[in-house]
């Protein structure tokens, strides 16, 4: 973001208040912001607020005599590195798709030769309306990036897709749009993350302590490197990294099916902590197992879950590079080396989880390959992910 110039168009709608925090985050990341405040947006935030936060004049009208003598709308549209429309209302998206230029904001969008990023926010029914979806498809076909809105509660009292993503997520989208081609551009990276939950009955399950943090960080780093990323995620409450297609699953059987469906891929990074066993029979469908008064626990017969990593390595659609993870508490390297040979993986990323790694924010790993061992010293999981993705990119080079 350092030195990048962002032209931020603030559309109408209650979500406009989040644009103030977005300006602050862009500035903090090293970017420069010039704001265009639409007539609708001015009902929710003021030009004075945006000017104070951006430390630049705020533009509100196409009919500013001094600016337009100098063709100000053309200059504004060409001087930025990226044009961001946030929030982008249904009306704004419709005008953009139709090529309408009836105010400063829409004229700038039509006149720009720079990338455009639109961040929609609107009522769920407006977002799901066929007209809005057609407009979004039109814009995307013209290489305008349209960020999918979040699901959530809305000011109107309804719930569903249409909520503006939080400012940190919008900043991530802006950074992604500014990066251009990366080291993994054109590659498809498949990542699994989190635990699996194996049902005992409708209210109980077998699980483990995996938080999904490391897998989600790897998926985000791969997307930032330009890859198309499919993230098969177990049951964790984590935001989806920008640019990542997420597939939610619960059990190992569901994860196996989702991995197969996601193929073909160039790279598979299998981070998920898949439960080794599941209950052979989860009892009567829809009924909780009750104590019978005997004082004896119910007999649960466990069966082995599918080995998703080994199955992928043996698949005729095997990715060119398969990276497994080994969460170990002792004999870490020896166990990882044996696992790599047993599963048929190209690499095994070994980590010692005897501390607070599962659920913690830091990690230290060792990459076990046929040619040796590479250590990545303890660091935040985001940094571990970045280092691993760089190593994967070098392997393809």
Active site residues: 156
Q: 139 near 118, Cβ under 8 Å?
A: yes
User: Which of 318, 215, 341 has the alpha carbon at shortest distance from 267?
Assistant: 318
Task: For the sheet with 321-328, list strands across it.
Answer: 244-248, 228-233, 188-193, 267-270, 321-328, 347-352, 362-369, 372-380
Q: 145 near 181, Cβ under 8 Å?
A: no
**Residues facing residue 33 across a β-bridge:** 6
Parallel, antiparallel or unpaired: strands 204-206 and 188-193: unpaired
Q: How far apart are CA 390 and CA 183, in angstroms?
A: 8
Tell me how far CA of residue 85 lies from CA of 75, 119, 252, in angstroms.
Answer: 17, 6, 41
Q: How far apart are CA 316 and CA 311, in angstroms?
A: 10
């Amino acid at each position: 973001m350092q030195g990048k110039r962002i032209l931020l168009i603030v559309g109408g709608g209650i979500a406009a208040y989040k644009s103030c925090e977005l300006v602050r985050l862009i500035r903090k990341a090293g970017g420069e912001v010039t704001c265009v405040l639409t007539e609708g947006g001015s009902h929710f935030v003021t030009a004075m607020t945006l000017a104070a936060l951006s430390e630049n004049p705020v533009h509100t009208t196409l009919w500013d005599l001094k600016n337009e003598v100098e063709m100000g709308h053309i200059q504004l549209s060409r001087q930025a590195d990226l044009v961001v429309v946030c929030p982008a209302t249904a009306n704004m998206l419709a005008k953009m798709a139709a090529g309408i230029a009836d105010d400063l904001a829409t004229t700038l969008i039509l006149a720009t030769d720079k990338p455009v990023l639109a961040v929609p926010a609107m009522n769920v029914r407006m977002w799901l309306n066929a007209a809005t979806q057609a407009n979004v498809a039109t814009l995307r076909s013209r290489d305008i990036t349209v960020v999918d809105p979040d699901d959530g509660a809305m000011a109107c009292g309804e719930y569903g897709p249409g909520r503006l993503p939080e400012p940190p997520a919008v900043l991530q989208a802006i950074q992604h749009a500014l990066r251009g081609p990366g080291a993994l551009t054109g590659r498809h990276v498949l990542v699994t993350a989190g635990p699996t939950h194996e049902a005992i009955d409708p209210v109980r399950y077998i699980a483990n302590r995996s938080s999904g943090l490391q897998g989600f960080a790897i998926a985000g780093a791969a997307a930032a490197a330009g890859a198309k990323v499919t993230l098969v995620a177990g049951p964790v409450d984590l935001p989806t990294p920008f640019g990542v297609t997420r597939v939610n699953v619960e059990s190992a059987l569901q994860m196996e099916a989702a991995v197969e469906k996601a193929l073909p891929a160039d790279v598979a990074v299998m981070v998920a902590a898949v439960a080794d066993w599941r209950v052979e029979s989860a009892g009567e469908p829809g009924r909780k197992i009750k104590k019978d008064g005997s004082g004896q626990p119910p007999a649960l017969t466990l069966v082995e879950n599918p080995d998703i990593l080994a199955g992928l390595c043996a698949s005729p659609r095997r990715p060119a590079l398969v990276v497994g993870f080994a969460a170990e508490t002792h004999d870490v390297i020896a166990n990882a080396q044996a696992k790599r040979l047993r599963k048929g993986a190209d690499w095994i990323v070994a980590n010692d989880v005897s501390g607070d790694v599962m659920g913690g924010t830091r990690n230290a790993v060792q990459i076990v390959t046929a040619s040796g061992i590479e250590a990545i010293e303890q660091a935040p999981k985001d940094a571990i992910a970045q280092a691993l993705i760089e190593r994967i990119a070098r392997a393809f080079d």
